[in-house]
Amino acid sequence: MIARQCRHCGQEIPVGLDGDFCCRGCEGAFALLEDMGLGRYYQRRCVDPAVRPLRPEEGAGAHHDYAAHIIDEDDGLASLNLMVEGIHCAACIWLIEALLSRQPAVVWARVNMTTRRLVLRWKKDQADPAGILAPVLAVGYRLVPYDPTKLGRETERHEKQLLRAMAVAGFAAGNVMLLSVSVWAGHFSGMGFYTRELMHWISALIVLPAVLYCIRPFLYSALTALSNRRTNMDVPITLGVLLASGMSLAETIRGGEHAYFDSAITLLFFLLIGRYLDSRARGKARSAAEHLLTLDAVAVTVLEDDGTQRLIPPTQVKVGQTVLVAAGERIGIDGVIRSGVSDVDTSLITGETVPMAVNPGAQVFAGTINLSAPLRLTVSAVGERTLLAEIVRMMEVAEQGRARYVALADRVSRWYAPVVHVAALSTFLGWVLLGGIPWQVALLHAVAVLIITCPCALALAVPVVQVIASGRLLRQGILLKSATALERVADIDVVVFDKTGTLTVGKPELLEDGTWGEEDLLQAVRLAAASHHPLARALAAARPGIAADPQAIEEPGRGMVAGDWRLGSRTHVGVTREDGAEGPELWLAGPDRPPVRFAFADRPRSDAAEVVARLRRWGLAVELLSGDRVATVRRLAGDLDIAQWRAGCTPAQKVARLEELKAQGKRVMMVGDGLNDAPALSAAHVSMSPSTAVDVSQTAADVVFQGERLSPVMEVLEVARRSRTLVQQNFVLALGYNFFTVPLAVAGHVTPLIAAIAMSTSSLVVIGNALRLTRGRKA
């Protein structure tokens, strides 16, 4: 009986299995790759470890059971966070996301290039993770459960490898250059044949071992790509270095005079310098998400029921357990304070530098720091369900989203491989057939073209700006929830504000207007302390510490009653006269005394007037849409100098107004309560919302900001406009570099050494230009 081979991986199909595939993973991977038209480009590999033993080169960790790492979400969805090993460029990101997104069960698949984190969401009743991930494994990537500490170790190991290789290459280049100077000088002073040959062989003995050692960072990446029938940016680099070294060795063996060992090793030396500086520069522009991952506590002290204490990793803590947090310790879980009073540094969440006082019942979050005294917490969330993890996921979405410029850069980068190789081959053939120069010199011209056309700068043009912009905003308590938010903010020409909780702080405060005395206030506070009504709470806050009247009873919709005393609305206390007073109010009535009025106001945010004025100076129209009463809205609009305002608006009327502006060709940014104004926020071109930490993951807005000030609106607008300018400048720099240098390389005016310096410099210039966003002055 003739053994049947799997159509995908070529392995023998076990006896008893029908069909053309050895496992379900191979069948799914084959169908998907063929459907994408990629089948002929990729070396296939069996993705089901149950069918056959793992090959030695795959290692014990090549396949994982992901069931323990799956997070069940609402609406029948499941999610998985994995680290992808083998990512080298934007083309890798595109391929992985394309392989996953084309599967019907997948609703979300995004890879962050900085953290190498894959976030996958799918309909759990339609597919299992092994089948979904099979195509990614089949094309040579390795997927392991996400471990932020492993990411840091991998980056450190890579940079040490580059440093060692750079040191070896620099030592070899320095020595070979001394020999090359002798050869060059001997060319004009009659150096003998055997002396020159000796110099060439000594150069070969120094350079070739150094090249074999130092080229590894490029070679491994290139071989991985080529073994899977694809290419990346390291393929032409590796090809150029090996061609120069191989040609020099061949010339030395046959006794020729064209040996370029100095060019080969010096080229590699400068490529390594560029790669190392690029890695360090990326560190300065490192993902804000990656920085956040380092803020999680290393261990948590759990208090057992028998009173013993146990130190365990945060991921092993269970909801409902009690943990102890010492003064000065970073909190590793989300929880509610069970006992203890302290101050907590919440700058990670709110952007505020002033610590927040906390007491029993307050909620605290992972990543914040307990400053003053020990706390005992009841755990409410751990691991991927903490607010810190939620912020990290939102930051990764914002940094790695598919904005308009990102899509353009990806399309250009995907075309570079065939174009660069054709250009190098054409350069070589053109100089040999038409230029009449030795093939050795023509090969050096082709190597220069291979090196100089590497599109590293173009691939970095957009992502580095997105990462820096997201990090700058995060440090000020501003979160981007949409990948295209900044791009849309830069386009706006109208800003529409909600009133309560947006232009105002959303908390009524008692006005000291002279209509009541201290005795009146104390009696009112005794009644108000027994109520949960917002105005009653505001009244009680005016004199904290006053005990509630034990006889106080609340009549829903009317007010409080305690014996002969009443606190509440006009009708509740029997006031019938109209005195022209406006705004929210409470009335106090008692025996043998006239009713007393307590007026309240929802004060504007401290910088609201300044922000509105700045928006107008920047050429933006400002409107106010509120569901509040006409008198209240008119007063606030007058205080803030907003000419266009509407009161008594329902959510539907707010949406209708936004649609009117949209029909006029306006691009509107809606700033409103992220929980109550969801229809209007969704209808706007882009939206912002002031929100507490608890609401961050619930709001419908594209941008969420923390704190009591409105200045984040201006900060987001400024960053958005500067980001757009920097992205455009980066495109000009990257494309201009190629348009200027490639013709020079083809014409033979650029050596491989100069090409290496130019290629590395272009990437550093793009990163340096983007880093200007971290400074305060205008781009």
- Cβ atoms within 10 Å of 184's Cβ, excluding its own: 12
Tokens matching residue 82 = 């994995």
CA dihedral 139, 88, 421, 170 (to 10 degrees): -140
User: Degrees (nearest 5) of the Cα angle 586, 590, 595?
Assistant: 45
Secondary structure class of 316 (helix, strand, coil): helix
Cα 13 to Cα 52: distance, rounded to the nearest angstrom: 10
Q: Are 492 and 620 in contact (CB under 8 A)?
A: yes
Query: Which uninterrupted H or E stretch holds 572?
Result: helix 570-573
Cα 634 to Cα 628: distance, rounded to the nearest angstrom: 10
Tokens matching residue 244 = 């120069």
Cα 274 to Cα 26: distance, rounded to the nearest angstrom: 40
Nearest to 552 by CA among 587, 524, 519, 573: 524
Cα 473 to Cα 467: distance, rounded to the nearest angstrom: 10
By DSSP bridging, strand 363-364 and strand 300-303 are: unpaired
By DSSP bridging, strand 703-705 and strand 686-690 are: parallel
Q: Are 679 and 654 in contact (CB under 8 A)?
A: yes
Strand blocks (E) in 579-725: 585-590, 593-601, 621-625, 644-646, 668-671, 686-690, 703-705
Cα 225 to Cα 218: distance, rounded to the nearest angstrom: 11
What count of Cα atoms within 13 Å lies in the side-chain half-sphere of residue 481? 20
Secondary structure class of 94 (helix, strand, coil): helix
DSSP annotation of 384 reads: G
- Cβ atoms within 10 Å of 505's Cβ, excluding its own: 18
Cα 256 to Cα 202: distance, rounded to the nearest angstrom: 15
Strand blocks (E) in 136-221: 142-145
Cα 669 to Cα 662: distance, rounded to the nearest angstrom: 11
Q: Give the contacts of 286 (CB within 8 A, at least 6 positions apart).
A: 114, 467, 471
Q: Sign of the C-alpha dihedral, residues 754, 759, 762, 767?
A: negative
Q: Which of 48, 498, 549, 602 is catalytic?
A: 498
Strand blocks (E) in 135-291: 142-145
Query: Residue 604 corresponds to which amino acid?
Result: P
**Catalytic residue list contains 498:** yes
Integer CA distances (angstroms), 267 to 169, 241, 424, 618, 750, in order: 9, 7, 17, 49, 12
Secondary structure class of 507 (helix, strand, coil): coil
User: Degrees (nearest 5) of the Cα angle 671, 689, 663?
Assistant: 35
Nearest to 231 by CA among 10, 450, 7, 399: 450
Tell me which residues are annotated as active site: 498
